[in-house]
Structure 1
């Protein structure tokens, strides 16, 4: 490497240059290092200028200590192999890899430089995102992951730091394949796993192995974090977080946010399933699930957003901060306390420790940032809410205040009378409010058929609480109230909630796979089990599908439709019937085409015939007019013409001998005598000897 001077706007600060010797150098005679962008547990990323192509690039340099020893050589080999594999990926959502090489002891990659920010910084600013923004970001991340999954690459380090957000608002996923190389080498790299433990799937934690479903799990953690501003599993140390991943299911978001749609719960829980077999098989399947969820939500739902979490000041603040390990708490009201000032003090110290814990989880070892510190025991020390006055005065050396003079006692009878009146009043008021008419209020009318929010507002206005359940309904739109119990206008106890049943819209069911190609009874049974009403199947002829087998089903297999949709099944009757046409007397080509037009196959044989021209069909089986089916075979016999035989050479022989020899060979003989045939010898013959002629044809002899 040679020292270079940073040009133009790419100038580094003195502090960076001093702390990082690579800044200002020229790597591999081509890449001028301008400044350091980030440092992680495996490599450092720099902004560099490609002098050859005059463009900005991101230069990723592997830490030198990872390349030491035999295992280091294997790591470098995998580093380069993964880089080549990532370079084969071309997708607008993936950071492109331009080059890979080494300069002395420096092993490096050059990648596309993406100006902008990343998802971690956006979350630190906004804390939570709307449902629409969350699902849109998930779609872009999964589209990029799907491109890699299709060629067999697994990211293994999906986290907000690796989700880049361009200035145009697009998502680009970076660091593809490098996490896989780290986890496949020695235990010295395990610190990187702990550094991103909040996004590791249970199978990676327990076995160190993971496939595309491990990336799906990490995307589920991203979704949880974007929705609620916190991780699904929390603890004060990375080991505690890892234990939660392996042994506890993630809570549905609706446990913390009452209005969260059930479709979002189902999506997040599917992505965060502990058993890999319960998750979508890869990013493509997860992307389909995200798009289904987005389509099921209303525009109003997509605009909703969880209130950004804040540090609590109630009695539960300290516990909440420690359990969260992220400095965030769910949307629940703080508990009341009799000693608010003391609790505020304790929560301040503990919440600070919780923020340190979060920083440790998000910062890989070797990166800038403080390590996780233990929470001071003194943070939990509290002063009693009340302290006896004489103790305080004794400690301060001040005599206690004089006791005020005791008042004169009232007569006992007046005391008893007052107590009795008060008891009757309290008892009457308690009965009235708890069991009498005052304990009940009328359920408002006109809340069935309105939105859930409007119904809850109407109940709140008359002092009633609500308990919401959801159910499918064919007629009531999604999100509107289907029924209320007690009914409208009926009396409801103030202490008991009014049960609201809210519509999930019309129920949708999916056409099962394997219907086409199965038998009629099996297909109908499968569709009915899936919830479809199946009319009597219709039939159709088919040249390829066996009789009794399902040719088609409408809607198509795998499609999701309202449960009121009828599933129409078409069953094969086998090949259609046809009458065999006459092809006898036709040429072989014409006969073959004629039979093919009727859907019939042809089996042809040849036979000599003295009377029928060669290439002409002599006979067929079955004969014309016979009933058959498309696909049946018709056998035809095609004439080869007369049989050709060798002509004997009879030149020089007597007429008698020549005639006999030719007749024995199957020929007719014609004799032409010259000069009366005085010598009776065959001088010429036509056709000549040793040639071939049709059997039964005439041979002419010239005799003299």
Structure 2
């Protein structure tokens, strides 16, 4: 076994062991490129040098990779790492159907049907591709956390074209689900898969398999010697129509089973319908009589004779009766044969079914047709991606068609996959070439490389030489495609001055566009922003635009201005002063005059100051004061940008001065 932690081909890191099989071990792994969990099946180390096992292992991938279905585990990749063959598959989180039955039994009938419909749908696709599974069993059916079932392990699955090469006396698959014809050593067919599906349905309904024994041989014998147990004996509530699906799928004679998994699915779909409530039990008409040679068990000697000593046995007396019966049987057979021939001649020839010739060689087909009193007609050839060379693709009339005895059957024989000649695709558009090749069945991959001479998307090279002939569906072609000129990540130029920016642009051969604007936050002469932003991928000749700071915008700057002016005092008039003195005198005129002159005080002027700046207007008083002499008044202004300020002075209600204060 491989220890977890190993990485296959620098991509699939093995995390833990999921299971161990006779041919391969399965690991949970992580795809480092696509960042997802996958299941990796690695051929066992002791089998790596066995060509038959390696071929069989690869055949699993070839058999499954063409089956894209939601109920079939997908094959993602096939590879080899240090001589170890491996398959990369979809990782299904859940359990297998065998464990599911144990944990959930009894399972509601409708759920049983839902599970079987998914399995049948998957097998319909496999049979459509001429692939039989041969090892269908609950252990090879996975159930994810959403209840979706997925068939896996096509390790012994084989295209019908290969069945003639299978050793007929090899018994593959699990014996509990083995069809009678497989147990007898015959080649498996679609009906063999249907038999296994019937056993799986039996187990879903009863929780057990129909036949048990002390050895695989004893179980295999029961498959073609004993009657299939009735599921209604386990659970009488099971509708007869549902039991009939089991009985018909597991009929001993393959010809009495369903003709296809689609037919089984259609019958299963209506098995719970009330319209079929009074359905009678299905009884096969052919019983256990199969076409293949039947191995009869050796008859045991009656007990009394077995216990009698050899010496005491009486001597045998001559008897004519035992000698006559073989002749009687032969005579009866001869009469029946003559009657059959006469009836055939009278009716103008009997009808027979065309055997399924698909996958046979021409010689095998001729022999098979002759045994059915048919003959081989015209032989034509055609390419096939699924049927091996020199094996039959189809017949006309088709298999199971009814034709008259001695009719001729035409066949189409495979020339194998069509070979395509690889052209020289360099200089052409990758998207056009990839679409064309994928349509033909190629797997196309792309690797990018920079180029100063070839435009983006143009093919620079290919890993398969031109003029080589290949099979499309088995070929992966990788193109090296131009990604244009070499690209680099743009540096973050924050804090650069204009000279530093120009030096950087010149070094990388970028076209530089410099713009300037005011900034309250970025120092003058320093970069404010760049386009494209830092980290963007650029190539030589691309344009870089930078915006440099001009410093703070003067138009938005707040400034403080100051203006000091002298406000003149205006004395009150003499008349007003004399009148006041006269009215206040109370003594002689001389003394009153002297007293008045020495006690007269100046009358204050009432001054209002108005200013206009960003915070004040001339219609509101900025400052009020009383003066009795010339007085200096200082005014402080707040202005924005290049604005100017204004002021006006009012004395005793009369404006005496105004002006503008400039920066």
Both structures adopt the same fold (TM-score exceeding 0.5): no
TM-score, normalized by length of structure 1? Answer: 0.37
Higher relative strand content: 2
TM-score, normalized by length of structure 2? Answer: 0.39
Structure of greater Rg: 2
